[in-house]
Structure 1
Amino acid sequence: METNPNNYIDTFTKIKFSPLNPTIQDTNIIDIAHALSLICRFNGHCSYFYSVAQHSIFCAEEARLRGHSEKIQLACLLHDAEEAYVSDITRPVKKHLPEFIAISNKVQDVIWKHFGLDDLKAEDFEIVKDIDDTLLGYEGLVLMGPHFKKSARSVSKEYNLAYRDMISVRDEFIERAKILCGKLNLNVASF
């Protein structure tokens, strides 16, 4: 645990998390689910509030419907988890910030390790990225309208992107993580 207040963020569960020196013991699914359920997709430019947590739940569901393993489903659920600790920056800007990308990747690597996903292969990450991009296109058309220019790929089902309160989304995210970790026999202490 970090003690210099200039080097950490205070999380929902009162953990002092250092984004520059993240540790597995400071990573917590409740903090991840809580923060992501309060962060809006599309940098807030959608027609109503739609959270990163909702997006992540649907990514995990899309992986399940496509017949991917529980490990890939969990990776889809957690693919944006670092945003709980470092937030996000829009894609056109982020690509010009290599230090931010390095920090974000370092946090995400600790999250992968915490949840037993640090052995994923490049092809696994390609599956996660494809599902993420598929949902991005689908969500963009629904939440931003036909002017949204990202390529829309077919999803396995129509997802209900209606507004949901953050508590129900947070709780569903946590429950899905618990179920997937249980199926993978992962003893994750942060539930």
Structure 2
Amino acid sequence: MVEPDDDVGPLSRRIGDLQTELGALRQDLHAADGSDDEFRARFESVAGELQDLLAAANGGHGAIDTISGETITPLDPDPAAIDLDDVAHALSNLSRFTGQGTRFYSVARHSVHVSREVEARGGSRAAQRWGLLHDAPEAYLSDVPAPVKRSLPGYTHAEKRLARAVRDALDVEVTAADLTVVDAADSAVGRHELSVHLPESDHESPPLEYDPDALESNVADSDLFRERARTLGLR
């Protein structure tokens, strides 16, 4: 419980009230199972609003530089600032599994594999496109391990906002069925990668429709990503 202080201003009092409310929310969470998807979505929405409030107090969300020489504001992205070459470059330099694997394995190569797996499962062209781009927000937010992401307030909100910007920028329209097949392919490919790159963790590889060994190993990951994008008409 935060004790009121007559000497503080209205903003400080509101923050104190918020801390008090968080204490009450903590008690309610202990009484519930805390796993409800609807609750998580609402919590993420509120966390996103808090991000915006904090940014407003500091002059707005900050921008980052990209390899193309442009800038983008990851927490308030303009679709016009999304550049496929920036995405390919960044994802090819990002390691899966926070670099804990037996060797470097990029998010770009993972994305190509997911897109190929979606195709092998009969997914639509739109689903194949989103399979390639599903991790594109990480080009601007970096990769956060899934177990951490679930407990990092506001990250999922920011990730979804960037995903919308990516889809708008590259004119990718996906249905609920497309998202389902991409999620399934992503999960299967991810578990396969865990079994290969973290063999000491005893992960079992699920059956895959697309053989990952068919991905060219002598091609730079960024070029592999760009070539898949061209094949899918994303250039």
Q: Would you say same fold, with TM above 0.5?
A: yes
| Residue ranges of structure 1 left out of the alignment (5+ in a row) | 183-190
Q: Which residue of 2 aligns with 1:145?
A: 199
Match of 2:113, SS? helix
Q: How many residues align?
A: 177
Q: Which residue of 2 aligns with 1:60?
A: 115
Q: How far apart are the structure 2 equivalents of 1:99 and 1:6?
A: 14
2:105 paired residue among 50, 59, 63: 50
Q: CA deviation at 1:133?
A: 0.4
Deviations 1:48-73 (A, max 9, x none): 00000000011111112222221111
What's the Cα RMSD here?
2.4
Deviations 1:74-108 (A, max 9, x none): 11000000000011211111111231111111111
* Shift in CA distance, 163/48, structure 1 to aligned 2, threshold 3 Å: farther
Q: Which residue of 2 aligns with 1:159?
A: 212
Identical counterparts, % of pairs = 31
Match of 2:212, SS? coil
Larger radius of gyration: 2
Structure ranking higher on relative contact order (CA contacts 8 Å, 6+ apart): 1
Q: How far apart are the structure 1 equivalents of 2:207 and 2:222?
A: 26
1:168 partnered with 2:168: no
Residue identity in the other structure for 2:211: E
User: TM-score if structure 1 supplies the norm length?
Assistant: 0.84
1:23 partnered with 2:78: yes
Q: Which residue of 1 aligns with 2:180?
A: 126
CA contact (8 A) 2:115 2:128 kept: yes
Residue identity in the other structure for 1:82: P
List structure 1 segments (4+ residues) > 3 angstroms apart after TM superposition.
Answer: 161-165
* Shift in CA distance, 44/147, structure 1 to aligned 2, threshold 3 Å: same
Which protein has the bigger helix share?
A: 2
1:104 partnered with 2:156: no
Q: How far apart are the structure 1 equivalents of 2:67 and 2:214?
A: 26
Deviations 1:91-150 (A, max 9, x none): 111111231111111111100112222x4222221111100000011111111115244x
User: TM-score if structure 2 supplies the norm length?
Assistant: 0.69
